[in-house]
Amino acid sequence: METLVPMERIEKKILLIRGQKVIMDYDLAILYNVETGALNRAVRRNLERFPQDFMFQLNDEELDSLRCQFGISKGKGGRRYLPYAFTEQGVAMLSSVLRSRIAVMVNVEIMRAFVRLRQMLASHADLARKLAALEKKYDHQFKIVFDAIREMMNPPVPKKRPIGF
């Protein structure tokens, strides 16, 4: 099935902020092929549709953290306001605010990415539970095997390049 935006591209835009999976307004604007200002104006015209659990504005500390993590520019001529983060429900509500055909189609793909991410997290938690149950069931001899499996479940630690020569 042909999609407007590859699933991997959408999944990379999903961040964890304040304990919630969100997509930033500027990333949504790129996905929807609209300007960030136009997206935010449409949201401001319909603020009653976007309560705090659908959308929230980042504070200075959170923005600085994003800049450090992703190298977001602090240059002049950029944003005048702190960016907004949209939860899964907020993204779903955007389809009623942005009425273009592309926005609706991209919105479907974003919803699928959120569902896929939720399924992956659930299967990972299920695997950890099953491993713990097996570990309790079998004796001490298999501790090394279980430790090795647990180690493989952890994401690899990125290697830092040395500074200097």
Confidence of residue 142 (pLDDT cuts 50, 70, 90): low
Asked whether residue 134 is assigned to any structural domain, the reply reads: no
Asked whether residue 145 is assigned to any structural domain, the reply reads: no
Total domains in the chain come to 1
Residue 106 neighbours by CB under 8 Å, 6+ apart:
4, 5, 31, 32, 33
Contact 120, 54 (CB under 8 A): no
Asked whether residue 80 is assigned to any structural domain, the reply reads: yes
Asked whether residue 89 is assigned to any structural domain, the reply reads: yes
Between residues 114 and 140, the one the model is more confident about: 114
Q: Which of 8-12, 46-50, 93-97, 145-149 has the highest mean pLDDT?
A: 46-50
Spell 17-54 as b/e; 16+ CB within 10 A means b.
eeeebbbbbbbbbbbbebebeebbeebeeeeeebeeeb
Between residues 9 and 128, the one the model is more confident about: 9
Mean pLDDT, residues 76-92: 81
Between residues 140 and 123, the one the model is more confident about: 123
Confidence of residue 94 (pLDDT cuts 50, 70, 90): confident
Confidence of residue 39 (pLDDT cuts 50, 70, 90): very high
Looking at residue 110, what is its pLDDT? 83
Which range marks the domain in which residue 90 is found?
A: 7-122
What's the CATH number where 51 sits? 3.10.260
Asked whether residue 139 is assigned to any structural domain, the reply reads: no
Whole-number mean pLDDT of the chain?
79
Looking at residue 24, what is its pLDDT? 93
Mean pLDDT, residues 28-36: 89
Confidence of residue 157 (pLDDT cuts 50, 70, 90): low
Lookup: tokens for 154: 């952890």
Looking at residue 46, what is its pLDDT? 92
pLDDT over threshold 60, residue 137: yes
pTM reported for the whole predicted model: 0.62
Looking at residue 3, what is its pLDDT? 63
pLDDT over threshold 80, residue 34: yes
